[in-house]
């Protein structure tokens, strides 16, 4: 296959690849308003609010006190009308609008709002999943989320495109507060010896799993996460969570390196990033050989050691270019490095979408970069005399965008 044909075949295979998105903050249509969608939710995404507030034209308190549509007006004015929208989050808005055939240079925010208002929730979900190529996605389902948990009925899991993940940050990062909530729900978590009643806590996990059928358990952990005796949450992670994962066969997704609320006034946008010892991941994988770990880390400086660690542990699947890493320059750097170290045995991306429409741009942008990396790797192979066929390319692309994920989280 010559270079021109190779590039065409790779681009086509990637463009048409169906996606299993292993981490999002979306909700199924039955959750109605919980599922964020449309231009005002896109513009008031926390990535864009903090970018707007950097210009200091309005203070955070005053800004967040405004209704969502006025916040969106300000963001549009500051980041798009009076400056070129060169950031990745801004470009994402334009890619998304463009995919709907909307031209923001000629249409007003008002007419764009009208476009979205005319989409019913079900139509909107179908349209975005079709445009983005996402066949199924995994949500973030926190049993302590008072808004979401009441939706956890049979309707919550009937749409196969929306799979669940049991998010247990609270149990690991603020165990005392979590235990209080468990007691309020009738779980007697304090053993009579004054310690923690681990079986009662495991029962809580199993009861939650019975309700939402998660494909994995998940937790985001701080940079100082350290898998060592006596560290915060160590006992619960070892004797409740990992023990439950081993018994149930459910993987655990660990998202490591977030410094929660380094600037609280920014709300969801107030989190920061910190370097984290990858050794903790290696120890976890070594001491729990029968548990499947999906791991992503937030610091750019952690990526190489994480990929090297994954070479040592078949029960460690590295996934995504998370959050502050989901920028073209870093997605390319990290994907190249992972492919050179791990071949095709990693999950290159997840969207982390919080707004339905974001699936379109987050995947379009990532697919473009992953296609370029793959093309270069095939070119490198051709220079050794190894020719890939169109079938080889289709097989490899399927692994990266859905096959590896399906195998990890046990979906068809």
Decide which of ligand FIX, Zn ion, none touches 349; Cβ closer than 5 to 8 Å per partner kind: none
What whole-number distance in Å separates Cα of residue 21 and Cα of residue 136? 6
Given the complex with ligand FIX, which of 124 and 354 has the nearer CB atom?
A: 354
Contacts of 345 (CB under 8 A, 6+ apart): 310, 317, 404
**Minimum distance between the CB of residue 64 and Zn ion, rounded to whole angstroms?**
21
**Minimum distance between the CB of residue 202 and ligand FIX, rounded to whole angstroms?**
23
**Minimum distance between the CB of residue 220 and ligand FIX, rounded to whole angstroms?**
4
Cβ contact 359:35 at 8 Å: no
What whole-number distance in Å separates Cα of residue 177 and Cα of residue 175? 6
**Minimum distance between the CB of residue 23 and ligand FIX, rounded to whole angstroms?**
7
**Minimum distance between the CB of residue 140 and ligand FIX, rounded to whole angstroms?**
6
Region of 48-56, 288-296, 301-309, 346-354 interacting with Zn ion (CB under 5 A): 346-354
The CA–CA distances, whole Å, from 243 to 209, 219, 227, 255, 405 equal 14, 15, 15, 19, 22
The CA–CA distances, whole Å, from 116 to 40, 45, 74 equal 10, 16, 19
What sign does the dihedral 158-159-161-162 (CA atoms) show?
negative
Decide which of Zn ion, ligand FIX, none touches 292; Cβ closer than 5 to 8 Å per partner kind: none
**Minimum distance between the CB of residue 22 and ligand FIX, rounded to whole angstroms?**
12
Decide which of Zn ion, ligand FIX, none touches 362; Cβ closer than 5 to 8 Å per partner kind: none
Decide which of ligand FIX, Zn ion, none touches 132; Cβ closer than 5 to 8 Å per partner kind: none
Decide which of Zn ion, ligand FIX, none touches 402; Cβ closer than 5 to 8 Å per partner kind: none
Number of other CB atoms surrounding residue 318 within 10 Å: 24
**Minimum distance between the CB of residue 241 and ligand FIX, rounded to whole angstroms?**
16
Number of other CB atoms surrounding residue 50 within 10 Å: 18
E strands present in 249-401: 252-256, 258-259, 272-273, 293-297, 316-318
Cβ contact 382:6 at 8 Å: yes
Cα-based angle 315, 312, 170 (whole degrees, multiple of 5): 45
Contacts 24+ apart (CB under 8 A), 227-234: 227/280, 227/281, 227/283, 227/284, 227/287, 228/280, 228/283, 232/172, 232/173, 232/175, 233/171, 233/172, 233/173, 233/175
User: Can you read off the two tokens belonging to residue 211?
Assistant: 């309700």
Binding positions for ligand FIX, rule: CB under 6 A? 25, 140, 220, 255, 268, 323, 352, 354
**Minimum distance between the CB of residue 323 and Zn ion, rounded to whole angstroms?**
7
Decide which of ligand FIX, Zn ion, none touches 338; Cβ closer than 5 to 8 Å per partner kind: none
The CA–CA distances, whole Å, from 46 to 1, 94, 98, 269 equal 45, 17, 21, 5
Given the complex with ligand FIX, which of 175 and 269 has the nearer CB atom?
A: 269
Given the complex with ligand FIX, which of 10 and 256 has the nearer CB atom?
A: 256
Q: What are phi and psi of 177, to 5 degrees?
A: -65, -40
Write the binding mask 296 to 335 for Zn ion: x where contact by CB under 5 A, - elsewhere: ----------------------------------------
Given the complex with Zn ion, which of 148 and 352 has the nearer CB atom?
A: 352
Given the complex with ligand FIX, which of 104 and 233 has the nearer CB atom?
A: 233
Residue nearest to Zn ion (CB): 352
Given the complex with ligand FIX, which of 40 and 169 has the nearer CB atom?
A: 169
Given the complex with ligand FIX, which of 177 and 268 has the nearer CB atom?
A: 268
With CB under 5 A as the contact rule, the residue among 352, 357, 372, 396 that binds Zn ion is 352
**Minimum distance between the CB of residue 358 and ligand FIX, rounded to whole angstroms?**
10
Could you tell me how many residues make up the chain? 412
- Residues in contact with Zn ion, counted by CB under 5 A, come to a total of 1
Query: Which stretches of the chain bind Zn ion, using CB under 5 A?
Result: 352
């Amino acid at each position: 296959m010559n270079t021109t044909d190779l590039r065409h075949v790779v681009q086509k295979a990637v463009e048409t690849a169906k996606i299993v998105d292993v981490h999002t903050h979306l909700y199924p249509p039955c959750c109605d308003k919980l599922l964020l969608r449309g231009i005002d939710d896109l513009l008031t995404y926390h990535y864009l609010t903090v970018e707007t507030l950097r210009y200091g034209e309005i203070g955070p308190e005053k800004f967040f006190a405004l209704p969502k549509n006025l916040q969106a007006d300000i963001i549009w004015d500051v980041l798009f009308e009076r400056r070129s929208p060169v950031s990745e989050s801004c470009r994402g808005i334009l890619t998304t609008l463009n995919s709907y055939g909307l031209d923001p240079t000629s249409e007003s925010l008002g007419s764009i709002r009208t476009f979205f208002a005319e989409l019913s929730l079900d139509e909107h979900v179908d349209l975005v999943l079709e445009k983005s190529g996402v066949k199924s996605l995994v949500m973030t389902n926190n049993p302590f989320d008072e808004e979401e948990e009441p939706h956890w009925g049979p309707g919550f899991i009937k749409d196969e495109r929306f799979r669940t993940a049991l998010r247990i940050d609270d149990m690991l990062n603020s165990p005392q507060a979590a235990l209080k909530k468990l007691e309020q729900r009738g779980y007697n978590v304090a053993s009579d010896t004054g310690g923690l009643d681990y079986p009662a806590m495991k029962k809580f996990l199993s009861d939650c799993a019975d309700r939402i059928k998660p494909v994995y358990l998940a937790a985001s952990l701080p940079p100082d996460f350290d898998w060592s005796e006596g560290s915060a949450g160590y006992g619960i992670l070892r004797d409740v969570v990992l023990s439950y994962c081993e018994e149930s066969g459910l993987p655990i997704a660990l998202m490591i390196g977030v410094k929660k609320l380094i600037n609280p006034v920014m709300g969801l946008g107030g989190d920061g990033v910190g370097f984290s010892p990858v050794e903790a991941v290696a120890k976890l994988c070594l001491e729990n050989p029968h548990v499947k770990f999906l791991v992503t880390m937030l610091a750019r400086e952690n990526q190489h050691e994480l990929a090297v660690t994954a070479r040592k542990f078949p029960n460690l699947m590295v996934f995504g270019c998370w959050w502050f890493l989901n920028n073209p320059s870093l997605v390319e750097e990290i994907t190249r490095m992972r492919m050179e170290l791990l071949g095709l045995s990693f999950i290159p991306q997840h969207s982390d979408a919080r707004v339905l429409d974001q699936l379109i741009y987050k995947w379009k942008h990532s697919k473009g970069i992953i296609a370029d990396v793959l093309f270069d790797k095939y070119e490198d192979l051709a220079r050794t005399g190894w020719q890939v066929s169109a079938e080889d390319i289709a097989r490899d692309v399927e692994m990266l965008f859905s096959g590896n994920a399906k195998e990890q989280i046990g979906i068809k």
